[in-house]
Structure 1
Amino acid sequence: MMLMSKKVFLLFTLSLVLLITGCSTPPPYNYDALLAAEPRSILVIPPKNNSVEVNAPYIYLSTISRPLGEKGYYVFPVAVIDTFMKENGLPTPEEMNSVPLDKLYEHIGADAVLYVEINDWGQKYNILSSDTVVNVSMRLVDGKTGNLLWDASASVVKSSDSGGGGLIGNLVNAVASQIMNSISDQTPTVARTANNIALYRHNQGLLNGPYAAPNAQK
Structure 2
Amino acid sequence: MKITKTITAVCIACLTLFVTGCQTTMAPAYDYTALNSEKPKSILVLPPTNNTVDVTATYSYLSTVSQPIAEKGYYVFPVSVIDSFLKENGLPTPAEMNAIPLDKISEHIGADAVLYVNITDWGQKYVLLSSKTVARGQLQLVSTKTGNLLWDAPFSFEQASDSGGNGLVGALVNAVVTQIIGSINDQTPQIARVANNIAFNQKNRGLLPGPYYVAPVKK
TM-score normalised by L of structure 2: 0.91
Displacement of 1:127 in angstroms is 1.1
Displacement of 1:8 in angstroms is 9.4
Does the 8 Å CA contact 1:133/1:157 hold for their aligned counterparts? yes
Gaps of 5+ in 2: none
**Count of aligned residue pairs for this structure pair:** 216
User: What pairs up with 1:63-212 in 2 under 5 angstroms?
Assistant: 63-212=64-213
The SS at the match of 1:208 is coil
Name the CA distance, whole Å, in 2 between partners of 1:107 and 1:216.
37
Runs of 4+ in 1 over 3 A off after TM superposition: 5-10, 12-24, 214-217
The SS at the match of 1:51 is coil
The SS at the match of 1:118 is strand
Aligned letter for 1:29? Y
Measured on the aligned residues, the alpha-carbon RMSD in Å equals 2.2
Residues 21 and 168 from structure 1, CA distance in 2 versus in 1: closer, same or farther, beyond 3 angstroms? farther
Gaps of 5+ in 1: none
The SS at the match of 1:204 is coil
The SS at the match of 2:67 is helix
Name the CA distance, whole Å, in 2 between partners of 1:51 and 1:216.
39
Displacement of 1:16 in angstroms is 3.8
Q: Deviations over 1:31-73 (max 9, x none)?
A: 1111111111000011111111111010000000011111111
Does the 8 Å CA contact 2:52/2:122 hold for their aligned counterparts? yes
Does the 8 Å CA contact 2:164/2:170 hold for their aligned counterparts? no
Aligned letter for 1:108? I
Name the CA distance, whole Å, in 2 between partners of 1:9 and 1:181.
54
Counterpart in the other structure of 2:19: 20
TM-score normalised by L of structure 1: 0.91
Displacement of 1:23 in angstroms is 3.7
Name the CA distance, whole Å, in 1 between partners of 2:13 and 2:120.
36
Q: Does 1:39 align with 2:43?
A: no
The SS at the match of 1:54 is coil
